[in-house]
Structure 1
């Protein structure tokens, strides 16, 4: 293959050489030296020529392919000032070489440590080299030597700065070495370990040399087999532990509904499953990333997860008996705390389940609802972990949303460990069929519900499969579900003329589910530009921007009657008092149809204006 060689010191010389992909670097340097000499008519000694590619100097003994050099790549050529592999011949009077040599007086060693005078001398020499015309000009026969600040350049004087570091003599130049790192001179006979032959390749003095046993050289890989991490017990474990998701923090929060919302999450179908609990948290179905009960001692529980954590749990699908939390000793490793050591109490999350039952709270004997359908609805998820005891109702992997359940009764009894536990009887009360039934499986197929997994590990696997041209592993569906708006919903959108441009932009994209549609609408499209939250009490300006009414009032009070986004004049919207009591009723109607709980927490409830042709409630998607 052919590669380009480029020399740029003082002028530019370009050449092309032929090298083998598996050839030696030394042969490439010889070819580059010959090609550069033919292109410029100047000398390029092989012993001083270095080739650089990708910021690395090509070392003798290495192969071309080991530096990933490809056809038509460019190598940078550089001439070293000190020759190590072979003696430097004195230039003759008719030598056309323009490159500085030690005999020309342009190169001088600089021993360490350097004083202020040495630094000035280095700068003087660097300026001298920079001002020397390298290409296109014949070398002067007489070169002015650069004086040494310590001995004034006298040949017969001993100086450890411009002579041998050990003896200070300046004789026997053919047997004098210069360190490639610091540039100091050393007689071969004066070295701590004297040598008689010139070394091949680079040479470093005893102060600059590194131990090759502790230095990673060239393309050598770092040996990690003897590190501290390699000796830890975790180095030999084969379990994935969730691909790092078990100890990750939540990166997204559900903004469609609040954390205390009771009932089904808008846009989430029965049968939807997630690979990790953290993804269930982001969906809003069950907020706690670890705990099995979402609730507090003052508010009813809103969701639970069945994960088979207690031996007393019994699952019959439409009904199940759930054991409360507590009683385990969590002072050590929580993953291995599988034995109950104390009685459970009707406090915190256990009490939140009791508050969800339509009966008086009794922390001694428990209670039973007179009408269990009056109990608060609780979202129930099942984990793959319950497959050990009840495989007929457990998902094959991950966590699955199984619909709404209500508590029939709760009571206190002695568990298998000999300590008391609180038990709760749940009964299913959801209009959608259970996901383990034939009807539920048909809905999952029709809606195209697959295992949701957007973890970093899954993204890397998908990217790798895409690069290889293969389909990513995982469950496949025969039919891809597309969110199709109903005629009633389209009529509501048509009535919201103030946001015509926004709804047109939303319609340009197809969504695989209602959840994705709501996520885009709440997190991006209808995000207030001032408070950066899902817009509440929306007001749409004449320029087509939707802002929270309280936020717009604050902006008008501080900056005047202008739009905080585009700075347009919005005087037609009225005064601050008018804006405070005005909302875009057409937009509120749409959001109430999508999210039934929207606007329930406002101090001022929006009033219904006139007879709307669109339905106030109803299904958003044609099932």
Structure 2
């Protein structure tokens, strides 16, 4: 293959060489030296000539194809600095003849153009006009630091280690940086001159870490390979504990007390992050959802403390704190200090129907305590397998705090303990009635993680499809029915409420055409898509339904009408028939409010509890009435 060689000598010299793609780099250097000798009229030492391609210096012993060099590619050539005992080759007047376009070239080099000939003549003229004698050729390169004084120690023109300039026959010059080293001064002294190229300790490359040709990268000696996580076999959840939440529950607020609409007892999720998205337990890592000023609303029973006791309908829960979390939080399982009645521990005390006491307290009527949603994790199966889910995290219903007290734990430090008792109308998931409900509602393990969404191989999918078809054929032959899949449908009472909401008939018809596998999916489609206010992007509050069929919050619509005029913020239709801003403020769609209250019991509590201000009072406050 033909390659172009660029060399800088007062100007850019271009020439061409012919090499084999499977040839050695050393052969290419020899060919480049001969071609440059013809182009520049000067002899180039092959040992000091280096070739560069793609920012890499071509090394002897390598093949051309190992650098992915192709036909008509360009190589850069340069001369390495000469050693002290190596004379500098400068051409005399008889060696300055430069080939012109009319001169004869070998078949490997095409004829140069007129522009290339002028450039080469300029280079030849500069080389010929240089006043250099044979005596000057024998002198070393001038040193700017010591002026080449033999008796002066200098690390720039002498040995880098000792600075002396003696013993030239035992002095090595690095083939990369050109600095000089005594063989006796090296960290590992040598007695014989190296036969091949020699590099100092600053320029030498470790062949074990240099990737050459088809050699693969060795990662066995890296820092990551030496970490404990590289050899551990325990699964830590695939990184889901520290991942960001994909969505947030908008059906209810984060401080909602009681059951989440659409979530039945027995619903389970594979990861805690999915429990967070459902709104059942908001903290993705912490076991208690609460603060020092508000009662707790949910907890996760995961057996994190040895003092935890689970009896199904009742359990004793241990508060948080006391662990040293300065290092690895996953392995910090030894309590090092007493627990205090602060933060989450205090929120559980506030949930008890008794005054907060630093020594503990008991509720006179435990049913008056705050309703707390309780989830059980598969981790408690080590101590109480009869109440633990097979995998993931399961919602087990509403519990209330009966009492709380302070006692010494197994570590010798004080812990706070809380007695919970179940108070839910739905049966527990470990009972026969609860298992029947799980099957009736179709409550399967919820898992929408990236790992679960990964596509299966085509062959495995085909086999699964074939088995499914065979099962259908067997059912037809035997006259049996396949397993019923639960589909959520509104109750007759809810259908009657929907029939009365005539202004949203088109939206309800669209909802009726779709199928939903659970009540939660039905509420998500309704509250996160169909009934989202286009202005505040939240579930519509004090909904006003326009003539064009859009549902908007009354305060949001009033603000839009004041700023942009009497038009619909979505479709820009004229809504002047709805009246002025004061009329729109009170034109709430009560039929839609009734439906949302039936689906979400806590809907509208914030704005319905506000006292209404009469017109005369509003006028008096604004100064319009004297």
- 1:422 aligns to what? 416
User: TM-score, normalised to structure 1's length?
Assistant: 0.63
User: TM-score, normalised to structure 2's length?
Assistant: 0.63
- 1:395 aligns to what? 389
Q: How does 1:474-623 map to 2 (within 5 A)?
A: 478-602=483-607
Q: How does 1:278-297 map to 2 (within 5 A)?
A: 278-297=273-292
Q: How does 1:434-513 map to 2 (within 5 A)?
A: 434-459=428-453, 462-465=454-457, 468-469=460-461, 478-513=483-518
Aligned residue pairs, count: 442
Change (3 A) 1:216 1:420: closer
- 2:398 aligns to what? 404
Q: How does 1:310-329 map to 2 (within 5 A)?
A: 310-329=305-324
Paired residues of 1:378 and 1:405 also in contact (CA < 8 A): yes
Deviations 1:403-429 (A, max 9, x none): 111122222223222332222211111
Paired residues of 1:361 and 1:367 also in contact (CA < 8 A): no
The residue matched to 1:149 in structure 2 has which SS?
helix
Give, in whole Å, the separation in 2 of the partners of 1:606 and 1:458: 50
1:105 has 2:124 as partner: no
Deviations 1:20-70 (A, max 9, x none): xxxxx99xxxxxxxxxxxxxxxxxxxxxxxxxxxxxxxx9989xxxx9xxx
The residue matched to 1:242 in structure 2 has which SS?
coil
Paired residues of 1:150 and 1:159 also in contact (CA < 8 A): no
Give, in whole Å, the separation in 2 of the partners of 1:489 and 1:606: 29
Deviation of 1:102 after TM superposition, in Å, equals 4.5
Change (3 A) 1:441 1:568: same
Deviation of 1:223 after TM superposition, in Å, equals 3.1
Give, in whole Å, the separation in 2 of the partners of 1:501 and 1:606: 34
Deviation of 1:340 after TM superposition, in Å, equals 2.3
The residue matched to 2:604 in structure 1 has which SS?
coil
Structure with greater Cα Rg = 2
1:305 has 2:293 as partner: no
Deviation of 1:240 after TM superposition, in Å, equals 2.4
Deviations 1:130-178 (A, max 9, x none): xxxxxxxxxxxxxx66444352598998799xxxxxxxxxxxxxxxxxx
Gaps of 5+ in 2: 1-20, 23-62, 76-106, 131-174, 176-203, 469-481, 613-626
- 2:95 aligns to what? none
Give, in whole Å, the separation in 2 of the partners of 1:526 and 1:587: 10
> Which residue of 256, 260, 263 maps to 2:258?
263
Paired residues of 1:147 and 1:153 also in contact (CA < 8 A): no
- 1:122 aligns to what? none
Give, in whole Å, the separation in 1 of the partners of 2:596 and 2:292: 31
1:360 has 2:352 as partner: no
Give, in whole Å, the separation in 1 of the partners of 2:420 and 2:311: 10
Give, in whole Å, the separation in 1 of the partners of 2:274 and 2:382: 23
Deviation of 1:478 after TM superposition, in Å, equals 4.6
Deviations 1:486-513 (A, max 9, x none): 2222222222222222222222321111
Change (3 A) 1:523 1:376: same
Give, in whole Å, the separation in 2 of the partners of 1:529 and 1:409: 46
Deviations 1:514-548 (A, max 9, x none): 11111122222222111122221111111111111
Give, in whole Å, the separation in 1 of the partners of 2:205 and 2:109: 30
- 2:328 aligns to what? 333
Give, in whole Å, the separation in 2 of the partners of 1:430 and 1:471: 44
Gaps of 5+ in 1: 1-24, 27-58, 68-76, 83-99, 107-143, 161-191, 193-209, 608-623
Deviation of 1:332 after TM superposition, in Å, equals 2.7
Change (3 A) 1:321 1:234: same
Change (3 A) 1:357 1:217: same
Give, in whole Å, the separation in 1 of the partners of 2:74 and 2:401: 87
> Which residue of 196, 218, 234 maps to 1:239?
234
Paired residues of 1:324 and 1:344 also in contact (CA < 8 A): yes
The residue matched to 2:386 in structure 1 has which SS?
coil
1:151 has 2:146 as partner: no
Deviation of 1:251 after TM superposition, in Å, equals 2.5
Deviations 1:234-258 (A, max 9, x none): 1111222111112212221111111
Change (3 A) 1:340 1:557: same
Give, in whole Å, the separation in 2 of the partners of 1:421 and 1:258: 31
- 1:384 aligns to what? 378
Change (3 A) 1:382 1:470: farther
Paired residues of 1:448 and 1:479 also in contact (CA < 8 A): no
- 1:274 aligns to what? 269
Q: Indicate the RMSD between aligned Cα atoms, in angstroms.
A: 3.9
The residue matched to 1:241 in structure 2 has which SS?
coil
The residue matched to 1:427 in structure 2 has which SS?
strand
The residue matched to 2:276 in structure 1 has which SS?
helix
Deviation of 1:604 after TM superposition, in Å, equals 6.1
Paired residues of 2:363 and 2:369 also in contact (CA < 8 A): no
